Amino acid sequence: MTLPAPQDEAAPQDGAVRLDTTVTTYRILATAAVFEPGFRGGGPIRSLSFILKTLPDDLDVTLVTRDRDLHSSVPYPGLSGRLSRRDARSAVFYLNPIDPRHWARLARHVRSRPVDLLYVNSLWSPFSVVAIVAVALRLLRVRAVLLAPRGELSPGALAIKRGKKRLFLTMWAQVLRRLDVRWQACSWLEENQIRSNMPWARVMVNGNECPIPDRPAPPVVPHDGPLRLVFVGRISPMKNLVVALDAVAGATRPVQFDVFGPLEDEQYWARCRQVIATMPGHVRVRYRGELAAEQVMPTFSGYDAFLFPTLGENYGHVILESLASGCPIVCSGQTPFSDLIRDAGGVVVEPATAAALAGVVDQLADRTPAQRAEAKELAGRWYRRWRQQTRELNVLDHARHFCG
């Protein structure tokens, strides 16, 4: 896109060269179904937060999000219907979609300034659909649209409610193509998934901004007793907790398995409880509730391994959080971090069947306390090495050039 050039100042009379300090602000309207202070949406919330914290000075972003956390009926105190300014470069509008007064306030704010880029997070979210339809109907005028599907085009994600998604995608793709929507992939893996569904797509690859610190993992103290496994993630079919439970049920060695995460899908959780009820006596499984973002890494540091047979991750913040905490990973091959997981002493299981995972769990359980401690130290070292070599450009700074 072509930005309006700043007007030239009059030439100095004394012949001296003066710099033009005029700054053209690039304005962005972004949408996301959930955002801070919510945490149930997982990695995308932390990524968006980091994006807003690291904006260049000449970008201005308004993020529109729901006024409550994922699957919550209670709005955030004091935020519903308000435009909350985070700093000089970003603000968040907390919308109750069924309140017409909120829509009126939002419309006034959006129309008060030109919009260079519409940045939507999710292919299916009503927030994304409404915003893109508004552009198609010329109710919202923007120069470009960038869509981040956040893993929704992975084979595992498309297999859930496949018929409805395919029908919607067939119609929706025509709208997106006509508007010349650009796409953001968080990895080469997601880029391939986008192109397999949208061969015409123009894709910008930019890894999710990651607020995970560089600091070393906490010191490891060897422990006796059973293998300590953990699962951290949304309780939904996509994260594949049932297979993780089947795996520990099939292990022949003593195992303690703790599960953390929001109960996103009650029917799926009922299936999980059925498996938990049939666990053999040498396996102990506990559901430990939800974790706020600041609790995730301290929790990981207390376990020997993260069992994560996910059906697909476009990025996988939780993988990096686990390694940064010194917790090796047993994972499916459906993430962009398979090489890093292996280098850091973890195991990538393909295909991630319960039987194959159970065999890995037994191998880990046979390790001595010293070997488990060594594996945790190795995970932390490899994370720090990866972190030192990886720095991403702010995705919205990248987008203004890509969408030009």
What does the pLDDT read at residue 19? Answer: 39
Q: HSE of 171 in the Cβ direction (CA atoms, 13 Å)?
A: 8
Class of domain 227-389: alpha beta
Sheet holding 142-148, edge to edge: 83-87, 90-95, 59-66, 26-32, 115-121, 142-148, 182-185, 203-205
Residue 257 and residue 364 in contact, taking contact as beta carbons nearer than 8 Å: no
SS3 category, 143: strand
pTM for the predicted model, two decimal places: 0.81
Pick the closest to residue 126 from 49, 47, 34 (CA basis). 34
Rounded Cα gap, residues 94 and 10, in angstroms: 44
SS3 category, 349: strand
Rounded Cα gap, residues 67 and 34, in angstroms: 8
What does the pLDDT read at residue 350? Answer: 94
At residue 299's C-alpha, the angle toward residues 337 and 304, to 5°, is: 65
What does the pLDDT read at residue 217? Answer: 73
Q: Where do the CATH 3.40.50.2000 domains begin and end in the chain? A: 26-211, 227-389
Q: Does domain 26-211 have CATH number 3.40.50.2000?
A: yes
Residue 82 and residue 354 in contact, taking contact as beta carbons nearer than 8 Å: no
pLDDT in tens, the chain (404 residues): 333 333 333 334 444 444 344 458 899 999 999 999 988 887 788 889 989 998 999 999 999 999 999 888 899 999 999 999 998 899 999 999 999 999 999 999 998 888 999 999 999 899 999 999 999 999 999 999 999 998 899 998 898 888 999 999 999 999 999 999 999 998 888 999 999 999 999 999 987 666 676 776 778 888 889 999 999 999 999 999 999 999 999 999 999 999 999 998 999 999 999 999 999 999 999 999 999 888 999 999 999 999 999 999 888 889 999 999 999 999 999 999 999 999 999 999 999 999 999 999 999 999 999 999 999 999 999 999 888 777 667 889 989 888 87
What does the pLDDT read at residue 187? Answer: 87
At residue 249's C-alpha, the angle toward residues 228 and 299, to 5°, is: 25
